Structure 1
């Protein structure tokens, strides 16, 4: 079973994504900030991720995105603020999905990346 990291500070969006991934046969783990995401990266083998860009309190997903890129883990950026994504995040060259997006669309997009993230 594939494990998907969801980094999302909005509880309803996180739950919607978690349920959609689980309905599609994946295990989804949720973090609300970068510290929690890094703890999950230390303890869980992650096969793919959905990262909210802006996590509140001036925190972005950038450190987690950089780590995932180093590990070769496919991820997509999920944001409601496309105009303020920032140059550093654009340089990550990751797929971006605008909020609101249906959870099923997010699942399909992530599972389609590199063909390597599809559920077992």
Structure 2
């Protein structure tokens, strides 16, 4: 069973994504901040991640994205504010899905990234 990290501060979107990944046979762990995401990453291994870019209170997913890239864990960015997040998005060099996107589409896109990195 695949384990997927979801970093999303909007409860309804997070729940929708969690259910969609579970329906696809994956175990989904929802976090709402970078600190929670790092706690989850310390506790378990993940096969992929969906990251909301802007997490509120001035926090972005950038530290988690950098960590995932170093760990060679595929991830995509899921954001509703492409204009405001534009600079950060370019720097993260990851696939981007604009909100609103259907949760099933997010699952399909993330699972399509499996070959993005060769695990060491």
* TM-score bucket of the superposed structures, by smaller chain: over 0.9
TM-score by length of 1: 0.93
2:44 corresponds in structure 1 to 44
2:97 corresponds in structure 1 to 97
Per the TM alignment, residue 56 of structure 1 is displaced from its structure 2 partner at its CA by 0.3
For the residue of structure 2 that corresponds to 1:49, the secondary structure is strand
Per the TM alignment, residue 87 of structure 1 is displaced from its structure 2 partner at its CA by 2.5
**Structure 1: segments with no counterpart, 5+ residues:** none
Per the TM alignment, residue 86 of structure 1 is displaced from its structure 2 partner at its CA by 4.0
Cα RMSD for the two superposed structures: 1.4
1:111 corresponds in structure 2 to 111
Moved over 6 A (4+): none
**Structure 2: segments with no counterpart, 5+ residues:** none
2:9 corresponds in structure 1 to 9
Per the TM alignment, residue 91 of structure 1 is displaced from its structure 2 partner at its CA by 1.8
TM-score by length of 2: 0.93
